[in-house]
Chains A and B, each alone.
Chain A
């Protein structure tokens, strides 16, 4: 198309060219804005895909992190070692008393102590998998908890609530049927010396490393764990008497 332009129309033609250029630039900028919006929409996985012109979607997911201890207190009471025995030993798993520990029943060696048959029973009552850490404050090692003597023991061990031999597993809201700590089970399932927090005693009971973080499950059939305590008092025990208390702190951590 050929446009014949009079001399008086040169100014108008210039303005036209300028306006056209501005239009091209502004259109390009607008299109770049559309591209930016595309990248924003890509972040919304639930973006509207139907033909509806207006839609509103609300999704709220609340993560609850909560671990409950059904046995907050383990009181062994007051007592002493029978004069005819080399030692008095008992634990919250077997409950039976013996002169050398749980393996040799001999109740007469422990005089006066309470027969405790329930360890700490913890249940993950939230809806998030967690990492469970344990530490102790107060009279934590055997010497501080019991006194001075030969072969002292103040130990703990951790096992699944689904273990049918656990006498207090019935306190679980829903009886567990599987391991509550990931695929590999709980750490410290064998008797382990208690160490105070001030002496570096930080025990990752389930999922301590990055690869096993948040392994303590929240499903009702695999969310319970039992922490048992074991005591052994030798006959040569030397103690000042008085009640000694060890406070066990359980810390649960979830990803939120």
Chain B
């Protein structure tokens, strides 16, 4: 650091303005801290931006609130309106019953 300070020193003082070497040292330290702080700020901003714009958004989009699904079943029947069991009747009786149903429309 002394070499750096000597190089900066001139006939009219350090950096052409300052003659006190302690002030020059403090100046260098403060400038270094400032640059480091700005660098840290920029880096952290970049990291934060990456998190908020990609990772967390993709996580929240992957969760859906509800999923609906449907499936069906079908029941069918055909209830005959006028049919009656005539298996126990003779052929003549069946014919008579059929004619009767046709004439009256009754079952």
Contact = CB atoms under 8 A, between A and B. Distances in A.
A198 interface: no
A80 B83 contact: yes
B104 interface: no
B41 A122 contact: no
B78 interface: yes
What's the dominant secondary structure at chain A's contact region? mixed
A55 interface: no
Contacts of A82: 84-85
Contacts of B85: 80, 82-83, 111
A83 B84 contact: yes
B68 A253 contact: yes
Contacts of B22: 1, 3
Interface stretch (A17-25, A99-107, A172-180): A17-25
Contacts of A251: 68-70
A247 interface: yes
Contacts of B41: 26, 29-30, 33
B45 interface: yes
Interface of B: 13, 17-20, 22-23, 26-27, 30-31, 33-34, 37-38, 40-41, 44-45, 47-48, 51-52, 56, 63-81, 83-85
Given A37-B51, A239-B81, A253-B68, 5 more contacts: A6-B19, A23-B33, A80-B85, A249-B70, A251-B68
